[in-house]
C-alpha cells in the first residue's frame, strides 16, 4: 500500500509562487503516472497536471498552462508542482494522485491512490 503526503501549501499573494511536493512511501511510484488535482469549496475535484513515469507524456489543464510545471524525481519517490503567477482562482486544496495504469488521464476516477491534500490560498 502506498502513502502519498503533500506539502508546500500556504498563503501567498497574487502573482506569487509556491512549490508543492508529494512524497510517496510504502513502495516505489517510479513506474506509474502521478498527477495533481485541486478542489475548491463547493466544487468538484479538477485536473491540474499529470506526468507518466518517464516524463515523456505531460498534460496540463488549460487554466494553468504556462504558469504551473509538474516534475518528478523517481529516485526520491516524489512529484512536484511549481506554481508561478498565482491567481486568487487557484485557491483550493491540492491533491496528488497515482494512476497504476500509467496512462496520463485527466479524470479523478482514474487515479487509484490519493494524498490528504495541502491548502493553497492566493490573496488578491
Mind listing the pLDDT tens digit for each residue in 97-121?
Answer: 999 987 889 999 999 999 999 999 9
Place of cell 503533500: 6
**Running DSSP on this structure, what letter comes out for residue 65?**
T
pLDDT digits (tens, 9 = 90+) for 17-31: 999 999 999 999 989
pLDDT digits (tens, 9 = 90+) for 44-70: 999 999 999 999 999 999 999 999 999
Average pLDDT, stretch 89-94? Answer: 98
Which residue spans within 61-101 are E strands per DSSP?
68-73, 78-83, 92-99
Amino acid at each position: 500500500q502506498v502513502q502519498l503526503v503533500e506539502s508546500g501549501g500556504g498563503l501567498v499573494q497574487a502573482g506569487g509562487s509556491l512549490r508543492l511536493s508529494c512524497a510517496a512511501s510504502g513502495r516505489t511510484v517510479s513506474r506509474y503516472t502521478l498527477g495533481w488535482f485541486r478542489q475548491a469549496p463547493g466544487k468538484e475535484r479538477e485536473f491540474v497536471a499529470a506526468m507518466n513515469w518517464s516524463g515523456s507524456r505531460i498534460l496540463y489543464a488549460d487554466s494553468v498552462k504556462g504558469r504551473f510545471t509538474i516534475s518528478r524525481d523517481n529516485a526520491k519517490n516524489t512529484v512536484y508542482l511549481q506554481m508561478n503567477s498565482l491567481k486568487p482562482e487557484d485557491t483550493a486544496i491540492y491533491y496528488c494522485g497515482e494512476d497504476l495504469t500509467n496512462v496520463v488521464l485527466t479524470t479523478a476516477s482514474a487515479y487509484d491512490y490519493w494524498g490528504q491534500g495541502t491548502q493553497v490560498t492566493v490573496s488578491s
